[in-house]
Structure 1
């Protein structure tokens, strides 16, 4: 679920306008853009004017120009979509209500109307819309309070505040104290992004400890799946000692909630996790699934192909996917998951697609997931497998021989490189005699190699030649990597 759902309809459409322009290289016709976002061309002009008014103060330069039936977007490097989205969210009534609910144990509709200077009808409508979105997380706002499983509530606000990047700091003394307590167990230091995530989780936790929600249904359902784990038992002790310095009562589930967070969101890092994995209780469901899934993937690629470091990284990535599927429900992102999956789909072979389906079925079965996580699993398995697939691809060597063009050949070589350099895992160089090349680009037919694998340029830098060369290189890559 995109965080855009917490924007008002008009503001959501404005973000959609920016996204459409970004995905079309900053330029679209007014007619096409208006159709994509469901507006008339006249209304589009008004929306664009509002966007400029909101976004210009965010950085050095932001412009959307409407000229000759075209819309063009340009902005300086100190602005990005996340920064724009945050500006819109801060002005969104839904987001402000979520923040108010987070900070108050109990409230009335009258309080909300006074706080946000809105009518009861508006507040009721916003609460209805918010609850519709929170359903995906299994939580909601009812009878003047936030209700639902405590682990899910913390998870939702962790995702929300991490996206908007506000309210917490990785330099917080509370974070430093906790890292000091955890450090004896983990020899490798936590990364900057891990400390940021840790800080955000603690920020949410400290606020939630003040409102004492007793609904821990989810933990009751899953705790037996990891309570025999050595790391879990250590964290129970650490969290009890850590929180007793700041609160009067530390619930028995605090350690379990922190454990779920710690092993899910890339906090430990590969090296720390590898050490933990050596002592991890192998009979807990996620550990068994991690091992089984890794073996399925290793067998798919062949045991000789993945290095020890590849397998270590694979185990770490799978552990986070499986932990999130088991412990948490719902997703909140700033990107479009469907668009990401469409991009991955272009790189998926039928064999990888079949493997992903097997992995999804195995995960649902072994973890006995109560809610389907198919989309989440498919996206993450695709990400892992495509990365492995591309990293194992052999590079294609391409020699460029323009020697018969004399002085022109030198500059045209670099022009040709600029047209082809975006192709991954392809090494281009000037042709060297007696060097083997998968493909040779040349302007004159003459015997260079025993293997006649040439492409003869028809017209230098013609779009036809560039398309044909790219097609030929892709065919060679496929043949070379699928023997």
Structure 2
């Protein structure tokens, strides 16, 4: 779910206008853009004016123009979509209500009307919209308070505040102190992004300790399942004592919630997790699934063995996917997951597609998770497998021989590289005698000799030649990696 859903309808449409322009390289026919976002062309003009008014002070330059029936967008490098989105969110009623209910244990509709200078009808409508959006996280706002599983509430607000990047610090004393307590167990230093995530989780936790409800149903199951795990035991010893210094009462499940966070969101790093993986309880369903999935993937590639380092990284990434699927419901993003899904689908081979389906089937069986997690699992498995597939592909070596062009050959070599730079897994270099190349690009004044790995250019940098070279390289790639 995109965080845009917390915007009012008009503001969400304005963000959609900017996003569509970004997807189309900053320019679109006004008619096509209006149809895409569901507006008349007259209404589109008004929306464009509102966007300019909102965004023109965000950086050095923000330009959004409508000329000759074409809309153009351009802005300076100190502006991006995330900065624009946060500006809209900060001024939206939905965002402000979410912040208010997070900080208050109980509240009344009258309080909300006074706080945000809005009518009861507006508040009721906005609460209804928010509850529709929060349903995917299995939480809601009811009877003047946040309701739902406490772990889910913290997970939602962790994602929420991490995206808006406000309210917390990764360098405050609380984060540093907890890091120091965990450091003897995890000898490798925590990364900068891990510290940021830790700061956000602790920020959410401190607020919820003051106002939390008592719905710990799922945490009871987690506690029972992991109580014999060594890492879990260590956290259960550290976390209650850590929070007792700031609040009077710390519940028995604080360690369980922190454990879920720690092993899900890339906090401890590959090396630390590898050490933990040697000692963790192998009968835990997530541990069983991590091992089973890794073996399925390793077997899929057969003779193309993954290195020990590759397998370690694979296990770590799988563990986070399975932990998130098992412990948490819903996902909040700033990007379009459907568009990302389409991109990955274009790069998934039939063999990988079958492997993904098998992995999902096993995951749903071992973790007993809902079918709604299918999209999440597919996208993350696809990401892992495509990366492995590409990393195992052999590079195509291309030698470029332009010596026949004399002085011009030196500069034209770089022009040719620029034309072909978008090709991945291809190594280009100036031709060296006695060096093997999968393909040699050249020009010649002599009669063409019949050699499979030569391509003789007809007209330097012609569109025809470039297309033919790309096609030939693609064929060589396929042959090298599928024979």
Q: TM-score, normalised by structure 2?
A: 0.97
After superposing the two structures, state which structure 1 stretch, 46-55 or 94-103, moved more.
46-55
Cross-structure match for 2:348: 348
In structure 1, distance between residues paired with 2:328 and 2:91: 29
The answer to whether the aligner puts 1:124 opposite 2:124 as a matched pair is: yes
TM-fit CA distance, 1:422? 1.5
SS in 2 for 1:373: helix
Q: Distance in 2 between matches of 1:367 and 1:449?
A: 62
| 8 Å CA contact retained: 1:305, 1:392 | no
2:347 alignment partner, SS class? coil
Contact kept in structure 1, 2:155 and 2:328, CA below 8 Å: yes
Indicate how the Cα distance of structure 1 residues 446 and 392 shifts in structure 2: closer, same or farther if over 3 A, else same: farther
Matches of 2:471 and 2:438, distance apart in 1: 14
* Inter-partner Cα distance in structure 2 for 1:299 and 1:448: 46
Confirm or deny that 1:221 pairs with 2:221.
Answer: yes
Q: 3-state SS of the aligned residue for 2:223?
A: helix
Alignment partner, residue 26 of structure 2: 26
Moved more, 117-126 or 461-470: 461-470
Query: Which stretch shifts more, 186-195 or 463-472?
Result: 463-472
Cα distance change on mapping 1:120 and 1:416 into 2, 3 Å: same
Distance 1:284 1:142, change over 3 A: same
Consecutive unaligned residues of structure 1, counting only runs of 5 or more, are none
Which residue of the partner structure matches residue 455 of structure 2? Answer: 455
Check 1:450–1:231 CA distance in 2 against 1; reply closer, same or farther (3 A cut): farther
Whole-angstrom CA distance in 2 between matches of 1:445 and 1:365: 66
Change in 2 beyond 3 A, CA 1:113/1:244 = same
Secondary structure of the residue that 1:58 maps to in structure 2?
coil
Distance in 1 separating the partners of 2:333 and 2:435: 49
How many residue pairs match? The answer is 483
Mean Cα deviation higher: 28-37 or 399-408: 399-408
Rounded Cα–Cα distance in structure 1 between residues aligned with 2:238 and 2:444: 73
| 1:456 CA drift (Å) | 2.6
Partner SS state of residue 125, structure 1: helix
How far the C-alpha of 1:404 sits from its partner, in A, is 2.1
Q: Which residue of 1 aligns with 2:87?
A: 87
The whole-number CA distance in structure 2 between the counterparts of 1:326 and 1:447 is: 66
State how far apart, in whole Å, the 2-side matches of 1:366 and 1:446 are: 67
Instruction: State the Cα RMSD in Å.
Output: 1.5
Distance between the aligned counterparts of 2:341 and 2:462, measured in 1? 33
Q: Does 1:379 align with 2:410?
A: no
Partner of 1:56: 56
Cα shift at 1:124: 0.7
- Matched with 1:185 is 185
Contact 2:150 2:212 in 1 (8 A): no
Spell out the pairing of 1:390-429 with structure 2 (5 A cutoff). Answer: 390-429=390-429
Counterpart of 1:248? 248
Q: What secondary structure sits across from 2:211 in the alignment?
A: coil
Structure 1: distance between partners of 2:176 and 2:140: 33
- Distance in 2 (alpha carbons) for counterparts of 1:238 and 1:445: 77
Asked if the contact 2:222/2:256 (under 8 Å) is kept, the reply is no
Name the structure 2 match of 1:280.
280
Are the aligned partners of 1:445 and 1:456 in contact in 2 as well (CA < 8 Å)? Answer: no
- Judged with a 3 Å threshold, the aligned counterparts in structure 2 of structure 1 residues 224 and 458 are, in CA distance, closer, same or farther, namely farther
33-42 vs 351-360, which deviates more? Answer: 33-42
What's the secondary structure of 1:320's corresponding residue?
helix
The farther-off stretch of 422-431 and 287-296 is 422-431
Distance change >3 Å, CA 303–CA 183, structure 1 → 2: farther
What residue is the counterpart of 2:298 in the other structure? 298
4+ residue runs of structure 1 moved beyond 6 angstroms? 447-450
CA drift at 1:371: 5.1
Q: Is the alpha carbon distance of 1:259 and 1:303 closer, same or farther for their aligned partners in structure 2, counting shifts above 3 Å?
A: farther
2:145 matched to 1:145?
A: yes
Q: Distance in 2 between matches of 1:315 and 1:139?
A: 31
The equivalent of 1:201 in structure 2 is 201
CA distance in structure 2 between the aligned counterparts of 1:321 and 1:32, rounded to whole angstroms? 38
Is 1:55–1:62's contact at 8 Å kept on the other side of the alignment? yes
What displacement does 1:327 show? 0.2
Contact 1:433 1:448 in 2 (8 A): no
Residue of structure 2 equivalent to 1:333: 333
Contact 1:364–1:372 (8 Å) recurs in 2: no
Where 2:372 maps in the other structure, the secondary structure is: coil
Deviations 1:89-111 (A, max 9, x none): 00110010000000111111111
In the alignment, the residues of structure 1 paired with residue 117 and residue 236 of structure 2 have an alpha-carbon distance, to the nearest angstrom, of 44
Give the 3 Å change call, closer, same or farther, for CA 446–250 of structure 1 in structure 2.
farther
**1:373-422, CA deviations, whole angstroms, 9 ceiling, x for partnerless residues?**
10000000001111111111111111222222223322222111111112
Check the 8 A contact 1:225/1:285 in 2, yes or no: no
- Bigger mean CA offset, 440-449 vs 112-121: 440-449
CA contact (8 A) 1:5 1:12 kept: yes
What is the Cα deviation at residue 329 of structure 1? 0.2
Instruction: Give the 3-state SS of the residue equivalent to 1:310 in structure 2.
Output: helix
Check whether the contact 2:286–2:367 (CA below 8 A) recurs between aligned residues. yes
Q: CA deviation at 1:437?
A: 1.3
1-side partners of 2:212 and 2:353: how far apart?
Answer: 45
Instruction: Measure, in 2, the Cα distance between the counterparts of 1:43 and 1:339.
Output: 26
Please say which of residues 401-410 and 21-30 is displaced more in the overlay.
Answer: 401-410
The alpha carbon displacement at 1:450 in A equals 8.3
Q: CA–CA distance in 1 between the matches of 2:209 and 2:181?
A: 20
The alpha carbon displacement at 1:304 in A equals 4.7
2:161 paired residue number: 161
Q: Is the 8 A contact 2:442 2:454 kept in 1?
A: yes
Distance 1:208 1:371, change over 3 A: farther
